[in-house]
Amino acid sequence: MTIFAKTTMPPFPKNQRVVRIALVYTGILVVFAVTQLFSFDQFLVVVRDFALPGGKPGAYFLATVIVIAEVFALPFLLRMQVSVAMRYLSMAMGWLVALLWTGITVWLVATNSNVTNLGMFGDVVSFIPGWLSVFCSLGLVGLSVVASLGMWPNPRKK
C-alpha cells in the first residue's frame, strides 16, 4: 500500500476533434488566468463592483475561486498524467469555470448593472457585459461539455 496517489495515463479520446476543442478551451482558460493574475489586485476590485450577494468578502472569495478553478482545469484538458481523482477534479473545475462565468454574465445583464468591465481578462482588457458576454460564456459551457464527454476520465469498457 502506498500513501501517494498513483498517476495514470489518460484514456484515449473519442476523436482528435475533441482534443482540438479541449486545446481551444485550454488556451482560453490560460489567457483568462494569466490576465487575471497579472493584475489580481485590480481583478478583485472588478469582481467587487459586480454587487453580488455576499459583499466584499464574497467577491474576494469568488475572484479567488475563479482563478484557482481556471488553473486546476488545465490538467484534464491537457491530458496530463495525473491520478484518476485529480482527473475528475480537474474536469469538474472546467465545468465550474464555465458555469461561474455564465452565472456572472447573466447576473450582470439581469440586474442592468453599470459595470464597464466583466473581468474575464482581468483589468488588462475591458470586456463590456451584455448579451454578447452571455453568449461567450455559454460558448465556454459548450466547450467544457464537449471536452468532458469526449475525454471522460474513466476508460471506456467495450
Q: So what's the pLDDT on residue 1?
A: 53
Q: How far apart are the first and last CA of the chain?
A: 30
pLDDT in tens, 62-107: 999 999 999 999 999 999 999 888 999 999 999 999 999 999 999 9
Residue 33 Cα distances to 11, 47, 68, 98, 150, angstroms? 27, 14, 8, 13, 24
- Give the largest Cα separation in the chain, rounded: 57
C-alpha grid cell, residue 33: 488566468
Q: So what's the pLDDT on residue 35?
A: 94
Q: So what's the pLDDT on residue 91?
A: 95
Divide the 158 residues of the chain into consecutive groups of 10 and give the mean pLDDT of each group.
75 88 96 93 91 90 95 94 91 96 92 86 86 94 94 72
Which residue intervals of 49-122 are DSSP H helices? 55-72, 74-77, 84-110
Domain assignments of the chain as residue spans, ordered by start: 16-150
Calpha distance 69→65 (Å, rounded): 6
Q: So what's the pLDDT on residue 158?
A: 58
Q: What is the pTM of this model?
A: 0.89
